[in-house]
């Protein structure tokens, strides 16, 4: 792989990559970094927004997962991401649904996945791609979804195990940096501006967001905002987009964020800007002139 910068994003479902990290992915892809996306499920339990596609839902035809594969392909094209894989292959683990749902008990769901097996699958990808950076969620899965929590567990253990020659196959590789997605509460306060969609009265109603002091890194990908919007539009079953705002099936609107935030969970601090945040995810390998 010719690029001197390689980054691996681990997400739970199709559309998570575009919502939380789409601008960052597009920025690094446009700069020539090697960007790899691993998605852990097909998102079979998602709620379907367009009326004409609701027959795809899990409680009807149960064909949403296969439909979302195509949506994810189009989103990756919009972001300029050429390397996308499903962990263990498409459909290896099923969407677990929201925490506490009966679908959490499905033996085929990601929440019930054998951790060593899932980690071995991801370690194989890490050793092939050889990223300096891995990006996923924090240990609460950003907002408590079981598949997001499991994605964190799998990615963190793969980060640790990829360098262990006694674990799995392939040549060991040691990524140097590990990040979790994060939305500072100060930024979330601005997200109460919902544009044409339903508006919440306070940030607490969102159910996510972290104190500003926990955030280490700010990636300004303003030049890639249109790519992020196009990627969000590609996930038509899950996301409605109007101008610079989007909403999920609950109808609650948020601005499309072209500046995305992260918390560094492993690795040395990188160069910081005047605001005190790291300006990128690669540390000393980040280009300061782009």
216-251: pLDDT as tens digits: 999 999 999 999 999 999 999 999 999 999 999 999
Could you give the percent of the chain with pLDDT greater than 70? 98
At 8, the pLDDT band (50, 70, 90 cuts) reads very high
Phi-psi region of 286 (alpha: psi -120 to 50; beta: other; left: phi over 0): beta
- Contact criterion met (CB below 8 Å) for 40 and 147: yes
pLDDT at 290 over 50: no
Q: If you average pLDDT over residues 191-215, what whole number do you get?
A: 86
Which residues fall within 8 angstroms of residue 206, CB to CB, at 6 or more apart? 188, 191, 200, 252
Check: pTM over 0.85? Answer yes or no.
Answer: yes
- Mean predicted lDDT score pLDDT of the chain: 94
Q: What is the pLDDT of residues 113-161, one digit of tens each?
A: 999 999 999 999 999 999 999 999 999 999 999 999 999 999 999 999 9
Residue 2's pLDDT is 53
Average pLDDT over residues 74-78: 98
In three-state secondary structure terms, 147 is: helix
The DSSP output letter for 281 is S
Return the structure tokens found at 19.
Answer: 């919502």
Class of domain 6-279: alpha beta
Q: Which helix (H) or strand (E) holds 151?
A: helix 146-161
The token duo for 74 is 């189009």
Phi/psi for 182 (5° steps) reads: -155, 140
3-class state of residue 18 by DSSP:
helix
- How far is Cα 207 from Cα 121, in angstroms, rounded to an integer? 31
Q: Is the pLDDT of residue 289 over 60?
A: no
pLDDT at position 288 is 47
Contact residues for 177 (Cβ-Cβ < 8 A; gap 6+): 132, 133, 134, 264, 266, 267, 281, 282, 283
Instruction: State the pLDDT confidence band at 273, using cuts at 50, 70 and 90.
Output: confident
- 286 C-beta neighbours (distance < 10 Å), count: 18
């Amino acid at each position: 792989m010719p690029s001197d910068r390689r980054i691996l994003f681990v997400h739970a479902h199709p559309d998570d990559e575009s919502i939380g990290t789409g601008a960052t992915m597009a920025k690094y892809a446009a700069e020539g970094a090697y960007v790899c996306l691993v998605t852990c499920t097909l998102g079979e339990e998602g709620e379907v927004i367009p009326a004409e596609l609701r027959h795809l839902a899990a409680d009807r035809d149960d064909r949403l997962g296969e439909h979302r594969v195509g949506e994810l392909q189009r989103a990756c094209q919009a972001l300029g991401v050429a390397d996308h894989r499903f962990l263990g292959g498409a459909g290896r683990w099923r969407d677990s649904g929201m925490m506490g749902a009966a679908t959490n008990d499905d033996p085929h769901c990601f929440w019930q996945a054998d951790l060593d097996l899932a980690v071995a699958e991801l370690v194989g990808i890490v050793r092939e791609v050889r990223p300096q950076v891995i990006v996923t969620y924090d240990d609460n899965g950003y907002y408590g979804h079981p598949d997001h929590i499991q994605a964190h567990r799998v990615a963190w253990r793969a980060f640790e195990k990829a360098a262990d020659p006694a674990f799995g196959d392939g040549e060991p590789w040691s990524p140097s940096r590990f990040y979790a997605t994060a939305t500072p509460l100060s930024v979330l306060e601005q997200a109460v501006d919902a544009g044409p969609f339903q508006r919440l009265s306070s940030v607490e109603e969102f159910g996510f967001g972290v104190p500003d002091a926990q955030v280490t890194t700010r990636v300004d990908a303003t030049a890639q905002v249109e790519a992020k919007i196009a990627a969000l539009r590609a996930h038509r079953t899950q996301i409605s987009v109007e101008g610079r705002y989007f909403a999920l099936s609950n109808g609650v609107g948020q601005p499309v964020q072209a500046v995305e935030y992260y918390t560094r969970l492993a690795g040395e601090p990188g160069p910081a800007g005047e605001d005190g945040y790291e300006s990128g995810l690669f540390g000393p390998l980040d280009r300061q002139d782009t």
